[in-house]
Amino acid sequence: MTTSPATEIDFEIHPSQTRVPAAERERILADPGFGQVFTDHMITLRWSAERGWHDGKLEPYGPFALDPATSVFHYGQELFEGLKAYRQASGSIVMFRPQANAARFNSSARRMAMPELPEETFLRALELLVTQDREWIPDGEGNSLYLRPFMIATQRGLGVNHPSSEYLFCVIGSPAASYFGAGKTVRVWLSEDYTRAAPGGTGAVKCGGNYAAAFAAQQQAVDQGCDQVVWLDAAEHQWVEEMGGMNLFFVYGTDAGGRILTPALTGSLLPGITRDSLLRLAPTLGIHAAEGRISVSQWRADCAAGELTEVFACGTAAVITPVGGVDGATGGWTIGSGAPGPISLRLKDELIGIQYGHRPDPFGWVHKVA
């Protein structure tokens, strides 16, 4: 056992004695899928009211033993993040805007009455895991190591008068290809029966409960022949908010003079890091970018008028995924030709170019690990 270089909160290093054999790993990396296979190690770190953050470890990936009365099983006090490590053509290993994930993790923690983690500790945990398991980062554009930091309430007991007094922070890594499959266009379902988030709720944070409550609507979307749900505002059920795991952008016009619009952060949708990156990147490419409001009826009318030419979803897992068509209780429509449009593809190319290191990184978004 060795100890990592001193940081305020330290991690003991316990390498696995039973790693996946290299040939088996290479077979997995040739076709990684999404979120099915995990690397040899994980990070764990505990928090208690008495000790604060303590007992940090990089250790072999494996199950937890938890008492059936552990708080998270009953009251769902949990939050997570998602980001990626990339292998660039030069051989460098980088992460994309991990400080932004650290900040969002802490904003989720505040809303969920959970302890914040110092940003440098969040980053150190990611760097340790990525460095240790770097052989698990697949080659090739579109492939990456998806990193999933999360935190659960681990106090034993069923009382609900106060938040848990103990927590476990953990980071796992999973080799990933593109979430929907390369070149895929998705069809979306407008959820009019269900609501994802309401003012004052948890829509703007990444807590597991938001996703648990979305499965019924996602199932409905699939039953209707769609891939994903589009969530509308809770009060009027007409303003577009976001998708189950992605933000949305609406593209007006064509290549020259095109502009993109994304729903503003009202407090009930997640402030996506990809969304923020595109809002900043697009103007540097001559594409005007704005946050605003768009209703379902305007979406439909602007498509019919030929003004709204493309729609795309964006997120860490989805990167940029074009939306080809929309369905809802009152019928559906096609967006543009139904195929990926030039502005979606251009933005995707530029974003991926920064992540994989073959475009300049004017915003300093790429964080080198090795």
Q: Are strands 93-96 and 83-87 parallel, antiparallel or unpaired?
A: antiparallel
Question: Rule CB under 6 A: is residue 82 a binding residue for ligand COI?
Answer: yes
* Exposure of 106 in the CB half-sphere (CA atoms within 13 A): 13
Size of the site for ligand PLP (CB under 6 A): 12
The distance of closest approach from Cβ of residue 223 to ligand COI in the complex, given in angstroms and rounded to an integer, is: 20
Helix or strand run (H / E) with residue 73: helix 71-75
Amino acid making up residue 266: T
Q: Are strands 247-252 and 259-263 parallel, antiparallel or unpaired?
A: antiparallel
> Which residues 241-260 are close enough to bind ligand PLP by CB under 6 A?
242, 245-247
Binding mask 256-295 toward ligand COI (x if CB under 6 A, else -) reads ----------------------------------------
Region binding ligand PLP by CB under 6 A among candidate stretches 11-19, 163-171, 267-275, 323-331: 267-275
The distance of closest approach from Cβ of residue 80 to ligand COI in the complex, given in angstroms and rounded to an integer, is: 7
> What Cα–Cα distance (Å) separates residue 157 from each residue in 48, 63, 164, 199?
15, 21, 9, 30
Amino acid making up residue 67: D
Question: Rule CB under 6 A: is residue 245 a binding residue for ligand COI?
Answer: yes
Q: Where are the alpha helices (DSSP H) in 294-367?
A: 296-304, 342-355
User: What is the C-alpha separation between 31 and 42, in angstroms, rounded?
Assistant: 22
> Which residues 91-130 are close enough to bind ligand COI by CB under 6 A?
none
Question: Rule CB under 6 A: is residue 274 a binding residue for ligand PLP?
Answer: yes
Binding mask 70-109 toward ligand PLP (x if CB under 6 A, else -) reads ------------x---------------------------
Residue 82 vs 357, nearer CB to ligand COI: 82
End-to-end CA distance of the chain: give it in Å, rounded: 22
The distance of closest approach from Cβ of residue 190 to ligand COI in the complex, given in angstroms and rounded to an integer, is: 20
Helix or strand run (H / E) with residue 46: strand 41-48
Binding mask 160-199 toward ligand PLP (x if CB under 6 A, else -) reads ----------------------------------------
What letter would DSSP give residue 193?
S
Q: Which residues contact 206 (CB under 8 A, 6 or more apart)?
A: 79, 80, 81, 82, 104, 105, 108, 270
Among 39, 106, 132, 316, interactor with ligand COI by CB under 6 A? 316
Binding mask 190-229 toward ligand COI (x if CB under 6 A, else -) reads ----------------------------------------
CA dihedral 272, 276, 279, 280 (to 10 degrees): -160
Question: Rule CB under 6 A: is residue 315 a binding residue for ligand PLP?
Answer: yes
What letter would DSSP give residue 69?
T
> Closest residue to ligand COI, Cβ-based?
82
Region binding ligand PLP by CB under 6 A among candidate stretches 5-13, 20-28, 109-117, 239-247: 239-247
Residue 9 vs 109, nearer CB to ligand COI: 109
Among 72, 176, 273, 323, interactor with ligand PLP by CB under 6 A? 273
Residue 109 vs 273, nearer CB to ligand PLP: 273
User: What is the C-alpha separation between 134 and 86, in angstroms, rounded?
Assistant: 10
Q: Could you give the maximum distance between any two Cα atoms of the chain, in Å?
A: 66
Alpha-carbon Rg for the chain in angstroms: 21
Q: Which does 143 bind (CB under 5 to 8 A by kind): ligand COI, ligand PLP, none?
A: none
Size of the site for ligand COI (CB under 6 A): 5
Strand runs labelled E in 78-130: 78-80, 83-87, 93-96
What letter would DSSP give residue 150?
E
- Site residues for ligand PLP per CB under 6 A: 82, 242, 245-247, 270, 272-275, 315-316
- Site residues for ligand COI per CB under 6 A: 82, 245, 315-317
